[in-house]
Chain A
Amino acid sequence: DAEITQSPRHKITETGRQVTLACHQTWNHNNMFWYRQDLGHGLRLIHYSYGVQDTNKGEVSDGYSVSRSNTEDLPLTLESAASSQTSVYFCASSEGPGQLKQYFGPGTRLTVT
């Protein structure tokens, strides 16, 4: 069955380290998204991509970067992890503009100490 996976599911890292969170989907969806979930804020969009080589900033993109070299993967990189980036991160994908249902991954809980 097609799915969307995230790895690792849990990560503890130190301030200042570079961290990459992986997202992989097997639906061949064009659109992929990264969100972070924090208490009192719901889910906020970090970065998104509408296809290979396309990336766009969301509302909370500072300190994060993404790259889209193929359809299946959109890794999220924290260049220099900060304690404010402790959060749960969700990846999502959707087929295209006419297909509005986003499929979410299981989430990655990141703790920056």
Chain B
Amino acid sequence: AQKVTQAQTEISVVEKEDVTLDCVYETRDTTYYLFWYKQPPSGELVFLIRRNSFDEQNEISGRYSWNFQKSTSSFNFTITASQVVDSAVYFCALYQLRRHIQGAQKLVFGQGTRLTINP
């Protein structure tokens, strides 16, 4: 079965600090996708990134970066020079592509990490 674990329930840092959100996943499939979503206080879910299982290149987008390591089944998210506007709940999610795999073609979410950036 597929599972996503975000062990950090809450993180609080001071503005301008770097912060890393951990995500560990479990899957039996070799073809899958990993996602990060942001949920700001307003409540909507905002897509941040998608990474497929065959692409282990790290990605950087402005102050955001993602470290995908298949060897440790992790897909960690780092915010550099954090800002108050980064305060939100962040969800990691796993998506198995193959229809014949039980549970495939559905997003499975981690429990979420509540990030608070203090001024």
Contacts and interface: CB of A to CB of B under 8 A. Distances in A.
Tell whether A and B belong to one assembly.
yes
B97 A97 contact: yes
B45 A42 contact: no
Nearest to A38: B111
Secondary structure of the A contact surface, majority rule: strand
B91 A102 contact: no
A100 B50 contact: yes
A81 to B, nearest CB: 21
Given A41-B111, A42-B6, A42-B109, 11 more contacts: A50-B105, A88-B43, A90-B45, A92-B107, A97-B99, A100-B95, A104-B37, A104-B45, A106-B43, A107-B43, A107-B44
Interface size class of chain B, counting residues whose CB lies under 8 Å from the partner chain: 20 to 34
B109 A58 contact: no
A97 B105 contact: yes
B106 A42 contact: no
20 contacts: A31-B105, A33-B107, A40-B9, A42-B4, A42-B110, A42-B112, A43-B107, A45-B107, A58-B106, A88-B43, A97-B97, A97-B105, A100-B33, A100-B35, A100-B50, A101-B50, A102-B47, A102-B107, A104-B37, A106-B43
Interface string B7-32: 00100000000000000000000000
Contact of A48 (B43, B50, B106, B108): B106
A104 B44 contact: yes
A40 B111 contact: yes
B50 A42 contact: no
Contact of A43 (B43, B91, B95, B99): B91
B4 to A, nearest CB: 8
Contacts of B109: 35, 42-44
Contacts of B112: 42
A88 to B, nearest CB: 7
